[in-house]
A and B are shown apart, each in its own frame.
Chain A
Amino acid sequence: MTAALEARGLRREFGHVRALDGADFDIEPGEVVALIGDNGAGKSTLVKALSGSLAIDSGELYSDGKRVTIDSPAAARALGIETVYQDLALAPHLDPVQNMYLGREVMRSGLLGKLGFMDHAEMKEKTQRAFADLGATVRDFTAPVGAMSGGQRQQIAVARAAAWASRVIFLDEPTAALGVVQTRNVLDLIRRVRDRGIAVVLISHSMPHVIEVADRIQVLRLGRRVATYDAKQTSMEELVGAMTGAISQEEAA
């Protein structure tokens, strides 16, 4: 199987700090890969590089086996890559439908569309269907998302990414600051997105969530991938060991 997205030897320096020091990464379609590592291990930098928010100094990127360059968020979107940022990036005063289609509005056909009129009915219907397909627990499609719970907002952000992504979704700390029920909803949502054949990259500090929802776990340390584990056959101790440098798989290779 070819990787939905693969990175080889990514390097990026900020002054004297090597944020990425030859980092590798790969994910296959329909797979949840968790990206873990201590603070400063390079998780955020790697995600930014893969989603086009940050230029890399050197390294190669492949999508479906073809060499690609991802030098802007637009380039990432064109490849079917969507990112859900930690701060959600929703407009709080807009409703779920408006957020879903922000920047991608469906216009009316003919002259009205040319004049800038939008097809509200079409957007609302498609949003409701997309949310229903993913089992998102958002019931009110006309309230501003700022008035909704953190869990609902997270679901809207994930559902939006899932609706537009054809290959890969990056989720940066999707369960941080969520309650128990809401976390459960978001994790269920991640599984359903994966079941559609989309690759999901999960960045999280929560080891129980990572082990629960991920298929594979890749560990970053000091700007490079130091280990990859099958989530079914690993333990919290092993992961923490790899994160802190007590255990290492790949450095020898």
Chain B
Amino acid sequence: MTTATEPDRDAAAVDEEKPKSTLQRLVGAQAFQILGVLLILIVLFSIAEPDAFLSINNFRNVVVNVSILAIIGVGMTFVIITGGIDLSVGSVLVFSGVVAAKTMEALGGQGVGVSIVGALAACGSGTLWGLFNGVVVARLKVPPLIVTLGTLGMALGAAQILTGGIDLRGAPTVLTDTIGFGRLFGQIPYLSLIALAVIVIGAVILHRTRFGRYTYAVGSNDEAARRVGVRADRHLILVYTLAGFCAGLAGILNLAFFSSTTIAGQSNTALNVIAGVVIGGTSLFGGIGTIAGTVIGLFIPAVLQNGFVIMGVQPFWQQVVVGAFLIAAVYVDQVRRAAASRGASTRRSLFSRFSRPQGARRKEAQ
């Protein structure tokens, strides 16, 4: 053994690689890079339209627009980290809103009690759809894309059967006046506070608890998780159930905000949420993702839309730009995964991808 082969020397060099600092890690995270993109957008729109864009009212509008999507996004982030997908959330939102409206209509009155029962009915219906998705995905091993495509149709169809296809407008006034349009201290919309609470709880569960750890483990290598005794199937069911619950909660909030079950208005909801989650750095292949990234990823389309409207650009441009963002985000994810599977944790950002020729780092290491 006089001459080491090329891969051996490479491997030895990698073995001695120094750990990265916390700062390097933070800067390398896709969520952090996408936050930079969001800030750049905000600065650009602020320069272009300082008065209209940079007002508290406008900022509040954007936040409210993101709130309901963010609640769904929390559940979606869990699902996508497991390597799955949930296309049914928009329909489940509608179905839950319909069940809540029907329940409150049957009970009658405009009181707080009725509203609470309605909210529970919405969350319950969402949870049940999520449980159904989870059981079929985990136990029957049907691919999640197909399962949730199926429940997308089933939940929407069921909602239309219940209503005869006509939107219900029977939300109690106490619900629309507080959660729908009410503001804490006249400034902070309750809708957004609820979303903030869901985001914080979701982030704590994902990043601090064993449930979150298993979510990453199942998405990263479900066989490895099973071998060490993680009940992967049960965990998948719980994750889809959580996503269903979030969609149900979004259903009652949606009803409170629009005073309508918006049956025809949610066909793109799931795709918009998935786009936000993916732009925020959650990998469609599982094992990677953060709640913070999802929230930032959902703000980008909202800010673009808002900014374009204010600037008088045709708002249709928003769809074009968001589409491009989505493709770019998945491209960055692919590059990252390819780098990781080569055993080299070098290229971590979109920028460093273009900053050096491919072999440079390896030559320096030798």
Contacts and interface: CB of A to CB of B under 8 A. Distances in A.
A152 interface: yes
B3 to A, nearest CB: 10
Contact of B210 (A91, A118, A146, A180): A118
A182 B219 CA distance: 28
B340 A91 contact: no
Contacts of B228: 89, 102-104
A150 B11 CA distance: 8
Contact of A179 (B4, B216, B225, B345): B4
B269 to A, nearest CB: 28
A148 B15 CA distance: 8
Given A77-B229, A143-B345, A146-B340, A93 B15 contact: no
Interface string B335-351: 00001110111000000
A223 to B, nearest CB: 25
Interface string B233-245: 0000000000000
For the residues of A in contact with B, the DSSP-based class is loop
B273 to A, nearest CB: 22
Interface in B323-366: 339-341, 343-345
Interface string A13-46: 0000000000000000000000000000000000
Interface string B190-225: 000000000000000100111101001101110111
Interface residues of B, number: 42
B8 interface: yes
B258 to A, nearest CB: 35
A93 B216 contact: yes
Nearest to A152: B15
A93 B288 contact: yes
Contacts of A118: 208-210, 213
A140 interface: yes
Nearest to B219: A93
A137 B17 CA distance: 11
B287 interface: yes
B4 A103 contact: no
B287 A116 contact: no
A93 B220 contact: yes
A144 interface: yes
Nearest to B218: A91
Nearest to B209: A116
A141 B217 CA distance: 17
A252 interface: no
A196 interface: no
A142 B25 contact: yes
Looking at B9, B228, B286, the one whose CB has the most chain A CB atoms below 10 A away is B228
Assign chain A's interface to a size class. 35 or more
A149 B14 contact: yes
B220 A180 contact: no
B15 A90 contact: no
A229 interface: no
B208 A91 contact: no
A143 B20 contact: yes
Contacts of A74: 229
Contacts of B286: 93
B15 A102 contact: no
A68 to B, nearest CB: 19
Given A98-B217, A139-B17, A149-B15, 18 more contacts: A85-B227, A89-B221, A90-B224, A91-B220, A92-B221, A93-B220, A102-B213, A103-B230, A116-B209, A140-B18, A143-B19, A147-B345, A148-B14, A148-B345, A150-B343, A179-B9, A181-B8, A181-B12
Interface of A: 73-74, 77, 85, 88-94, 98, 102-105, 107, 115-118, 137, 139-144, 146-152, 178-182, 185
5 contacts: A116-B211, A140-B18, A143-B345, A147-B344, A180-B1
